[in-house]
Amino acid sequence: MTKTKLELTWPNKDQFLLVPKDETGKPIWVSRDHPAAHEVRLTREIQTVGDVGTAPIADNTVFVGDSLDAMRVMLEVPEFAERYAGQVKLIYADPPFNTGQAFDHYDDWMEHATWLSFMRDRLVLMRDLLSPDGSVWIHLDDAEQHRMRLLMDEVFGAENFVATVVWQKVYVGDNRSLFATAHDYITIYAKSKGEWNRNLLERTPDQLTAYKNPDNDPRGPWRMSDTTAQGGRGTAGQFYSLELPDGRVLDPPPGRCWVFTKERFDEMVDDNRIWFVPGGRPYIKTFLAEVQSGMVPMTWWSHVEVGHNKEAKLESKQLFPTETPFTTPKPERLLRRIIHISTDPGDLVFDPFAGSGTTAAVAHKMGRSYTTVELSPANASDYVVPRLTKVVEGEDAGGVTEDLRWQGGGGFRVVAIEPSIYEVTDENLVFLREDVSTADLERAVAGQLRFATTQGEAPFCGRRGRMLLSVVSGVVGVEEIDALVARLPEGCRLTIAAGALIPGAADYLARVSKGSRAMKIPRDVLLRSRRRPAREEESGD
């Protein structure tokens, strides 16, 4: 079949990338039928800090595990999906840059095709997490920026591209290279550009000094604006000689015309909106009270405005004096600007690559809800959790703390992504691990099939509308089906997930309980999950 859509292709694009590397340090590619391509992992709360309230999912959260597994949980497990699916206002992602360098805290090891698959699978889930008026900001350098633009066009749609911000991360030259790299890129896409609105930036003190009031105009401070514009067709009424109060006659400069027609210009003079500079040209008085409340963001962000790498390392050193700071931390001022432009207080911010926890820390101080994911348990325990704990306890005096007058409060949860409940042979055969408990198996299958877990409804462990779930680790036949169907509430249907099914058991269940179904663990459960649409009606199949 001939494809009509522009597409970026790369080797193994149709395969699934396993993040763990083999003994040679190379990535592992498997079929998309592999359980790792679809398994929804279990989660376990391991810590709470500060005031986290009573709702287990509605609070700030730090996931410890792979970002792909975390996002699957956020999107597929009903208790999490209610909070996250289509609810995230901002995603800021600072992924591995794929520079080929070994960093102190991460091995940035991926070849281009590997990196593209790594990012594509995660971008698809990010898209489903975003709210209709949300946006995603991807932070990269020159190594993959050009490929990322094409990849994001494919996932989000080229029509939803917003801008690419250039951040001046370094302001001192480097004589060791052909060119001294001074910037990173932050590429912005909206979930739906027509629904996305950005906040304006506050004017800086330097910008405000341009507004003065030398004539004591009761309308307040104003600045001078040009009275001329580029001339061309359709501007005939704006070419005329202007008689100034000092008797001079002034024509617009060559190739330009006056901004206003003569009639409108005279109206502006009568309203005291034209300032005549002695011996010079007239200017429009643009009043501060009549312009937008802030400045439209530009795509060039200097280190003076939002900080630089050295500033970020100093912030990290202040928080962790005895630790080696991250190689590429981001300054809090940079994240403050991103969060300010794209969110309002109370909105949900998500960072799938926590690093040292800057995004979560700044979001916390700015009154936003946040969720972040850290792959390394060591980085989570050494950097992210201690940093956010300092924020909660009001012991983080650096970064944007003083500007925001942050004094502490709030809290967060730390949630671990559990290991797979399956074992996969070299022949790609899938088996349930022998040490998996019945309770964990029930939770895992419920999450995989998008059932909300239930308590006190044994022998049923999950519910989705009128469909109930029963998980049996052993063999299910006619007798077990009859016993379960007899316990079904009126009008409900049944999904049975069993370790083994007697031949004909699934057909028997379908006959005795119309709309019910039986499946084998793990094969049918994983395949069923793969083939289901991303969002299914609560009433069941």
Report the top-level CATH class of 32-196+299-417. alpha beta
Q: Tokens for 213?
A: 């009031």
pLDDT computed for residue 231 by the predictor: 84
Residue 144, helix vs strand vs coil = coil
> Model-level pTM greater than 0.85?
yes
- Phi, psi values for residue 115, rounded to 5°: -65, -40
pLDDT computed for residue 34 by the predictor: 82
pLDDT computed for residue 535 by the predictor: 41
The CATH code of domain 422-531 reads 3.40.1350
- Phi, psi values for residue 239, rounded to 5°: -105, 110
pLDDT computed for residue 114 by the predictor: 87
pLDDT computed for residue 180 by the predictor: 86
CA distances from 152 to 116, 120, 126, 130, 137 (A): 11, 8, 11, 14, 11
pLDDT computed for residue 427 by the predictor: 73
Q: What is the 3-state secondary structure (H, E, C) of 450-482?
A: CCEECCCCCCCCEEECCEEEEEEEEEECHHHHH
pLDDT computed for residue 24 by the predictor: 66
Gyration radius from the chain CA atoms: 30
Peptide bond into 345 cis (omega under 30): no
**How many residues are given for the chain?**
541
Strands 27-30 and 16-21: what pairing? antiparallel
170 neighbors 309 (Cβ within 8 angstroms): yes
pLDDT in tens, the chain (541 residues): 566 678 899 999 999 988 765 666 677 888 888 878 889 999 999 999 999 876 656 689 999 999 999 999 999 999 999 999 999 999 999 998 776 654 555 565 568 888 999 999 999 999 999 999 999 999 999 989 999 999 999 999 999 999 999 999 999 877 777 888 899 999 999 999 999 999 999 988 888 999 999 999 999 999 999 999 998 777 789 999 999 999 999 999 999 999 999 999 999 999 999 999 988 899 999 999 998 888 999 999 999 999 999 999 999 999 999 887 777 889 999 999 999 999 999 999 999 999 999 999 999 999 999 999 999 999 999 999 999 999 999 999 999 999 999 999 999 999 999 999 988 877 777 888 989 999 999 999 999 999 999 988 899 999 999 999 999 999 999 999 999 999 999 999 999 999 999 999 999 999 999 999 999 998 889 876 654 443 443 444 4
100 neighbors 56 (Cβ within 8 angstroms): no
* 75 membership: H or E segment, kind and range: helix 67-76
Question: E strands along 300-376, which residues?
Answer: 300-301, 348-351, 369-374
Rounded-to-integer distance, Cα 515 and Cα 453, Å:
20
* 186 membership: H or E segment, kind and range: strand 183-190
Q: Domain ranges in the chain?
A: 32-196+299-417, 205-290, 422-531
What is the DSSP code (8-state) at residue 24? T
Strand order in the sheet with 452-453: 452-453, 462-464, 467-476, 493-501, 517-520
65 neighbors 352 (Cβ within 8 angstroms): no
